[in-house]
């Protein structure tokens, strides 16, 4: 377990573990999820100003594409399957007021982990929550209620951590991590990863997803979770594939531009030195 967490100015964190080993983790990553078993749901809750209200929302089972997620220092919590919830809520700005590059966000998102509570009889729960503006939420839940949507592809940009720098070439399939609780925190709950919804693609094709086996408690943080089967193949959707490919290409372009700018800067410093 981590005994010290130090955050640098670039938001990279350096974690010291009980055995004295140190490791660096980098924030910011694109996450793609296949969502199945989507359905409309309703929750009755007491709103402070409006009294008791019935709130509609969307549920489903989300599966990470090509990677796993766990908590730093807890490889036994590794998974690829998360519970999905989508709610009607306006998209907030980030704490620093910055909006995502290249395009306006389609919504706000976060991935988190709730620990098991024996008093309430709950188990460990991985979840992903999406908050969409009404203009996007209403048509989506209406299509689901009418049986026109069987599965969804969700593309997110989250402040989730990885052992490789997000701008490093060839590091697109690295495992993902949530930041653990700081050693001085009262509750040992990991920090959820906040971010944005880049795009949502709906499909009207049903396919099954196999339940994951029990996690390997001896697995390392970087070891791919090969025991968890991928979702069953589905017929190719050219529009969905094009949107996902475009999102990936934009991400690669962003990476290339930042790395290219760094190389040009180093070359200029070398010329000035001469």
Residue-by-residue pLDDT tens, the chain, 274 positions = 677 888 888 888 999 988 889 999 988 788 999 999 999 999 887 766 777 888 899 999 999 998 899 999 998 999 999 999 999 987 655 554 445 555 667 889 999 999 988 888 889 999 999 999 999 999 999 999 999 998 999 999 998 998 887 666 655 567 899 999 887 777 778 999 999 999 999 988 554 444 455 555 556 665 554 444 444 444 445 545 554 555 555 555 555 555 455 555 545 555 555 5
Domain boundaries of the chain, sorted by first residue: 2-238
Taking the C-alpha atoms of residue 8 and residue 225, their distance in angstroms, rounded to an integer, is: 29
Q: How many residues does the chain have?
A: 274
Residues 48, 50, 192, CA angle at the centre, nearest 5°?
50
pTM of this structure: 0.71
Give the chain's largest Cα–Cα span. Answer: 73
Torsion, Cα 126 192 100 239, to 10 degrees, reads 0
């Amino acid at each position: 377990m981590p005994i010290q967490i130090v955050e640098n100015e670039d938001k990279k964190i350096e974690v010291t573990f009980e055995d004295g080993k140190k490791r660096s983790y980098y924030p910011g990553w694109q996450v793609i999820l296949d969502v199945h078993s989507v359905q409309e749901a309703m929750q009755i809750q007491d709103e402070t100003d409006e009294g008791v209200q019935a709130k509609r929302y969307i549920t489903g089972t989300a599966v990470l594409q090509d990677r796993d997620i766990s908590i730093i220092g807890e490889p036994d919590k590794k998974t690829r399957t998360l519970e999905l919830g989508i709610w009607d809520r306006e998209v907030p700005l980030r704490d620093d007021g910055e909006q995502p590059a290249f395009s306006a966000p389609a919504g706000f998102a976060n991935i988190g982990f709730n620990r098991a509570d024996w008093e309430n009889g709950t188990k460990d729960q991985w979840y992903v929550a999406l908050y969409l503006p009404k203009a996007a939420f209403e048509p989506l839940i209406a299509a689901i209620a009418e049986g026109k949507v069987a599965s969804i592809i969700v593309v997110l940009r989250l402040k989730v951590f990885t052992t490789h720098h997000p701008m490093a070439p060839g590091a697109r399939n690295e495992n993902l991590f949530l930041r653990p609780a700081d050693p001085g925190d009262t509750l040992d709950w990991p920090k959820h990863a906040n971010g944005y919804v880049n795009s949502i693609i709906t499909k009207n094709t049903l396919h099954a997803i196999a339940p994951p086996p029990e996690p390997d408690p001896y697995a390392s943080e970087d070891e791919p979770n090969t025991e968890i089967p991928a979702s069953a193949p589905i017929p190719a959707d050219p529009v969905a594939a094009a949107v996902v490919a475009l999102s990936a290409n934009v991400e690669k372009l962003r990476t290339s531009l930042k790395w290219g700018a760094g190389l040009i800067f180093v070359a200029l410093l070398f010329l000035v030195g001469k």
